[in-house]
Structures are given as C-alpha cells and as structure tokens.
C-alpha cells in the first residue's frame, strides 16, 4: 500500500492532490529539453497505487491512445488510492516515429537498467527506482510490431493466481500465457514483486478504436475490481468469454509475394481452412495459406508485401479448458 506522502523526484504529492511531474531524460541534440510527464492523481482515501504505462516502444500508438483516453476522461481520478499514468515512456522513440531509442536500443530489453548505462538503460533505471517502489499494480499497454495486428489480449505468465484473476477481470478476448522475457519491464516488475498485466492490441503507427475501447474498458473493470473506479463511470461486461491460449505458433510465409489475409482476426478456424493468399504482381501465382490445425487466429500480418519466412498469422495450438 502507498505511504501517505508520495515522493517522486523530490516532488511530494499528498492524498487528495494531483500533480504532473516531469522527468527530464536527456536533452535533444538541439539542446532542447525533453520531458516524460508523469501524471499523478490521488484520492483522499487510502488505497492501492496503480501505474498505467504505454509507449515503451515509441511506435505503439494504440497503447499511448488508451492511456491518453483514461486521463482525458478522468478515469485516472481514483475513488481510493493513487493512479500514476505515464503515457509515453520512450519519448525519444515517439518523437522519432521509431520503436527504439536513438542508439537502436529496445527499452523493453534493458530493464531494470542502470544509472550510468545507455540512455534507454537510464530511463529503465528511473522507472524502477523512482516509480515502481510506490506501486502495487501495473497495466502496461503495447501493440503488435510493424504491420502485425494483435487481437486484444492480456499477456501473463502461467500459474500466477493473482495475475489470472486480474486478467479475467480485464476481460480482453484473449489471455495469452507467455514467459517473462529477460530484461523486459514485465520481468523487472515481476522480480520486484509488483503484479503487471501486459495488454497487446492492434499494430504499430495506428489508432484502432475497437482496440483502444477494449483497453480503456478493461482498465476500468480492473479499477472497479480494486474499488478505485469513480462512481460516475459504468463498467460494461466483456463482449465475449475470455479465451485462454496456453500454446501457439507463428505461421511463416512459404513464399515471398503480395499478401492478403482473408480470415478475420479473433476467428476460430479449422485445420485446412484458407486464411489468406500470397500472389505475385503478374497474375500467374496464387498460393493459398491454410490453417495447420484448429485454433484461434490472434495475430494477422497486414503488410501487403511479404518475404518468405515472415510471420503472417499467430494461431493457438492449445487452449486452457
């Protein structure tokens, strides 16, 4: 539970107060300062402290839009406890329209970071040292890389009861069991004993309303579950039952060519069903991509041009009963 006075970077925020603290990362090469705003809302009543983050990858705009809506609608003003929002952690990548830091580092592979490391490593260190110690629970919003469109899903490790409960409350169409990657933010939170739900949905450089709605509604359900959601907000039931994916595989393109998926994301397909086709520009080649097994399609590559070996569909191979 949070202490009475929250102190981040020497700025004190008392119960009942709001504050936007700016973390000044490093100057741009033009010597302009660059700030990461940390938006804090505290209720007078004590309660948990929830952190909502996005933009660890600078190209994952859907995630940023979800946290933006949460702030714009006032969902981050809690009935009890404290909500901290950091909509754009990798502000360098966001500015440069790039997933990574200017030196090519992936912020999500340098956690927990260090004070004297690379720029990305310093940002990770800041998050772990200044913010995470105050936090009881995290929701981190991501999107699929490049043109690979992710179905809305919560990623958690298998066998963690608390995470399972919260992931079900969130109510995204899928829960996908995936291991904590070494040096990821998720792994660093796990090692710090702070539960984290990782949301994935949509693709890079894209704002997709059904995906952002799923993210915002899920966050509201979790806040409601924790007793933190302001009374003025209604909580809707998830549209469908949550499907739990235990195992999955990526289908990779057998040929280079032009690509068009014909199956809708979130669909359940039978072995042998046509999922899409790979063609050439000259009208002489048409290869039908077929499902290798029964399963749910929870990622579809939306790139119109692909190379042999590119990941084109993510399909479940084992569901939890």
Q: Which residues bind Zn ion (CB under 5 A)?
A: 57, 60, 142
d(CA 49, CA 198): 17
| Residue closest to 188 by CA, chosen among 290, 113, 105, 121 | 113
Of the pair 6, 265, the CB lying nearest Zn ion is at 265
Q: How far is the CB of 265 from Zn ion (least distance, A)?
A: 18
Q: Which is closer to Zn ion, CB of 61 or CB of 229?
A: 61
CB of 180 to Zn ion, least distance (A): 14
CB nearer Zn ion, residue 58 or residue 78: 58
* Count of C-beta atoms within a 10 Å radius of residue 141: 29
If the CB atoms of residues 49 and 150 are measured against Zn ion, the closer one turns out to be 150
Phi, psi of 200, rounded to the nearest 5 degrees: -125, 140
Pick between residue 21 and residue 128 the one whose CB is nearest to Zn ion: 128
For residues 141 and 66, what is the distance between their CA atoms, to the nearest angstrom? 8
List Cβ<8 Å contacts ≥24 apart for 174-179: 174/242, 174/243, 174/244, 174/245, 174/266, 174/296, 174/298, 175/242, 175/243, 175/244, 175/245, 176/200, 176/245, 176/248, 176/298, 177/244, 177/245, 177/246, 177/247, 177/320
Query: Which stretch of DSSP H or E encloses residue 170?
Result: helix 161-170
Query: Shortest Cβ distance from residue 46 to Zn ion (Å)?
Result: 33
- Minimum distance, C-beta of residue 47 to Zn ion, in the bound complex (Å): 29
Question: CB nearest Zn ion: which residue?
Answer: 142
Written as six digits, the tokens of 139 are 């929701």
- Looking at beta carbons only, is 48 or 201 nearer to Zn ion? 201
Contacts of 303 (CB under 8 A, 6+ apart): 146, 147, 259, 310
SS3 for 259? strand
Nearest distance, CB of residue 62 and Zn ion, angstroms: 10
Closest CB 287 distance from Zn ion, rounded Å: 31
Q: Which is nearer to Zn ion, 151 or 275 (CB)?
A: 151
Of 117, 107, 93, 110, nearest to 34 by C-alpha is 93
What's the closest the beta carbon of residue 57 comes to Zn ion, in angstroms? 4
């Amino acid at each position: 539970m949070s202490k009475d006075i929250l102190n981040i970077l020497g700025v004190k925020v008392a119960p009942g107060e709001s504050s936007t603290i700016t973390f000044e990362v490093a100057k741009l090469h033009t010597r302009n300062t660059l700030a990461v705003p940390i938006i804090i809302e505290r209720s007078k009543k004590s309660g948990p402290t929830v952190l909502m983050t996005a933009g660890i990858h600078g190209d994952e705009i859907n995630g940023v839009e979800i946290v933006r809506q949460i702030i714009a609608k006032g969902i981050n003003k809690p009935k009890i406890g404290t909500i901290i929002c950091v909509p754009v952690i990798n502000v360098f990548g966001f500015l440069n329209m790039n997933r990574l830091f200017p030196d090519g580092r992936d912020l999500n592979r340098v956690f927990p970071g260090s004070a004297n490391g690379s720029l990305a490593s310093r940002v990770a260190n800041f998050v772990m040292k200044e913010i995470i110690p105050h936090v009881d629970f995290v929701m981190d919003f991501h999107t699929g890389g490049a043109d690979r469109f992710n179905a809305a899903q919560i990623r958690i490790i298998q066998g963690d009861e608390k995470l399972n409960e919260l992931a079900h409350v969130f109510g995204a169409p899928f829960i996908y069991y995936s291991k904590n990657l070494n040096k990821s933010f998720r792994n660093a939170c796990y090692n710090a004993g702070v539960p984290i739900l990782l949301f994935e949905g949509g693709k890079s450089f894209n704002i997709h309303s059904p995906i952002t709605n799923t993210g915002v509604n899920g966050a509201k359900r979790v806040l409601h579950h924790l007793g933190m959601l302001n009374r003025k907000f209604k909580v809707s039931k998830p549209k469908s039952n949550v499907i739990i994916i235990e195992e999955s595989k990526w289908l990779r393109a057998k040929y280079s060519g032009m690509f068009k998926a014909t199956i809708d994301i979130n669909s359940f397909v039978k072995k042998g069903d046509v999922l899409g086709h790979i063609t050439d520009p000259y009208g002489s080649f048409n290869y039908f991509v077929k499902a290798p097994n029964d399963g749910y399609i929870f990622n579809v590559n939306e790139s119109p041009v692909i190379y042999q070996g590119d990941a084109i569909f993510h399909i479940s191979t084992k569901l939890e009963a």
